[in-house]
Amino acid sequence: MTAPASAPTVELAVRGGTLVDADWQDRADLFVSRGRIQAVVAPGTPLPAGSGQATEIDATGRLVLPGGVDPHCHVGFTSGDFTSLDDYRACTTAAVFGGTTTIVDFAIPRPGQAPIEAAYAQRAKAAEGLCDSALHACVVSWDGTTHGQLTELAAEGVVTVKMFTTYRGENMADEDTILRTMTTLRDVGGMVVVHCEANHLIEDAQRRCAAHGGVGADRMSFTRPELAETASVAEILAIAESARAPVYFVHQSTASSVELVAAARRRGLPAFSETVAHHLVLDEGRYDGPQPERFVCCPPLRPAAAVRELGRHLFTGEITTIGSDHCCYDLAQKRSNRHDVRTMPNGLPGVETRLPVIFSEYVVGRGLPVTRFVALTSANPARTNGIHPRKGSLRPGADADLAIWDPTLRWTLTAPDLHMATDYTPYEGRTVTGKPTTVVVGGRVVVDADRLVDPTPRGRHLPATRLDLTPTLDPRLPNPTRQYA
Ligand SMILES: [Zn+2]
């Protein structure tokens, strides 16, 4: 209950709030020392001797959550003719305003660039961030150097590798390359993270759309059918099972894809489902509206019934993580090729809105336990990226990254009030309940009452330790227990 007698000076105390971790919640105070959580103590516990100068945050009526970990975030991403508009500083500024204190970016190689070169270039940018970041490497094709590159990257703590089954001629990898990458990563304690959409089915759908009705932004959902996703997930699961290799599926947009992964997991395969906020909240009706280009993302938004079915799996435990798939294009970029989804930039800005939107829709709106919210948006992403319990946890020893959350505050999402490097949000005008009102990074208050109070870049690249895949294999809901009786 109390800090050890030899405890170092406490610099920050968070008092009066309800602490919520992935598997417990309780009224408690939290002490921070040297940027880390030093102790979780009974409410009102005096500070240790010598801590007279500690900053105190009154969290009465608020939740104290581990800062969000966004497992899927594209920073300054170039695809085709377009580059998304943020850098580490801009992206992490938006992240902390939204209660996210760790982002996981992707190092997608440019044509002719080696995966390791792309990863080291992206890793060097971490220091520009207002919070810490981790990295997924990416393999597109296999050559005599790939095995050595993956082994070296693993030694450097980059053990998750993105692969695509779509975007022919750009990022698409063939099945041999996926198998070899999976096998190599299995042997070095890593994991492939896959964007699954069967490219042949998508190209066929696009051809048919081009002949009948067009390939404009309003036709988005017809150009990338659900079947393309399900077919590709089944294929990649078969490769992973054959190789006995762990696998993580990014942005799964349908319940049937999630269920394929869940079935494989029950057969013993370490296989994980990520969903992203917009697929859990928005539906394809947006493509019938006046500005469908605002909602063009891959996979596309799905029918309302499919969104409900997907959301149901937040409660069954079959979904492992919720990311943002943040990709910060502005309206000029989204509009420029809106007549042809094959060439317009895919992706939605979302690093700042991920937590508020999911909290409002699912915790407030549908009764998702707040512990489960923390598991999905913070603890599990930290686990599958090998940065838990340093991140995504309120346990003593964890980095003191905190989102102090007002669960009742109602506010309206509108682009001018957000901090992402773009001029729109797909949630424009949406009123949500719940907001991070104070955000702490490494023991320092960075955001307070809608103001950036510490803009100093202190971002660090987080090398992965061994991936923690076992806890996330258990799909049961965490059972909140009284931790500090
Ligand atoms: Zn993505």
Centroid of ligand 1 to alpha carbon of 77 (angstroms): 10
Centroid of ligand 1 to alpha carbon of 72 (angstroms): 6
Centroid of ligand 1 to alpha carbon of 74 (angstroms): 6
Centroid of ligand 1 to alpha carbon of 432 (angstroms): 25
Residue 8 has a pLDDT of 73
Q: Could you tell me if 308 and 362 are in contact, meaning their C-beta atoms sit under 8 angstroms apart? A: no
Distance, CA of 426 to CA of 364 (rounded, Å): 20
Centroid of ligand 1 to alpha carbon of 71 (angstroms): 10
Centroid of ligand 1 to alpha carbon of 73 (angstroms): 7
Centroid of ligand 1 to alpha carbon of 103 (angstroms): 13
Closest CA to 63 of 442, 373, 316: 373
Cα of first residue to Cα of last residue in the chain, in angstroms, is 8
Centroid of ligand 1 to alpha carbon of 406 (angstroms): 29
Q: Strand 160-164 to strand 132-138: parallel, antiparallel, or no bridges (unpaired)? A: parallel
| Tokens matching residue 125 | 């940018």
Centroid of ligand 1 to alpha carbon of 481 (angstroms): 35
Centroid of ligand 1 to alpha carbon of 350 (angstroms): 11
pLDDT tens for 72-128 read 999 999 888 899 999 999 999 999 999 999 999 999 999 999 999 999 999 999 999
Centroid of ligand 1 to alpha carbon of 105 (angstroms): 9
Topology of the domain covering 1-485: TIM Barrel (3.20.20)
**Percentage of residues of the chain with pLDDT beyond 90:** 90
Residue 470 has a pLDDT of 59
Centroid of ligand 1 to alpha carbon of 325 (angstroms): 5
Centroid of ligand 1 to alpha carbon of 444 (angstroms): 30
Centroid of ligand 1 to alpha carbon of 485 (angstroms): 42
Centroid of ligand 1 to alpha carbon of 354 (angstroms): 14
pLDDT tens for 20-72 read 999 999 999 999 999 999 999 999 999 998 887 899 999 999 999 999 999 99
Centroid of ligand 1 to alpha carbon of 425 (angstroms): 17
| Tokens matching residue 56 | 């105190």
Centroid of ligand 1 to alpha carbon of 194 (angstroms): 10
Residue 368 has a pLDDT of 96
Residue 7 has a pLDDT of 56
pLDDT of 473 higher than 70: no
Centroid of ligand 1 to alpha carbon of 250 (angstroms): 7
CA 423 vs. chain centroid, Å, equals: 22
User: Any idea what the Cα angle at residue 296 is, between residues 216 and 221, rounded to 5°?
Assistant: 65
Domains of the chain, residue spans: 1-485
pLDDT tens for 373-412 read 999 999 999 999 999 999 999 999 999 999 999 999 999 9
Centroid of ligand 1 to alpha carbon of 483 (angstroms): 37
**Percentage of residues of the chain with pLDDT beyond 70:** 95
Give the three-state DSSP class for 176.
helix
Work out the mean pLDDT of the chain and round it to a whole number.
93
pTM across the whole model? 0.95
Its sign, for the CA torsion 392, 395, 399, 403, is positive
Distance, CA of 45 to CA of 37 (rounded, Å): 15
385 vs 3, residue with greater confidence: 385
Ion ligand 1 contact residues with beta carbon within 5 A: 325
Token pair 């440019």: residue: 110
pLDDT tens for 168-195 read 999 999 999 999 999 999 999 999 999 9
pLDDT of 484 higher than 70: no
Residue 316 has a pLDDT of 92
Centroid of ligand 1 to alpha carbon of 244 (angstroms): 25
Centroid of ligand 1 to alpha carbon of 55 (angstroms): 38
Centroid of ligand 1 to alpha carbon of 146 (angstroms): 22
Centroid of ligand 1 to alpha carbon of 353 (angstroms): 16
| Tokens matching residue 6 | 């030899």
The 3-state DSSP composition of the chain as helix, strand, coil percent (nearest 5) reads 35, 20, 45
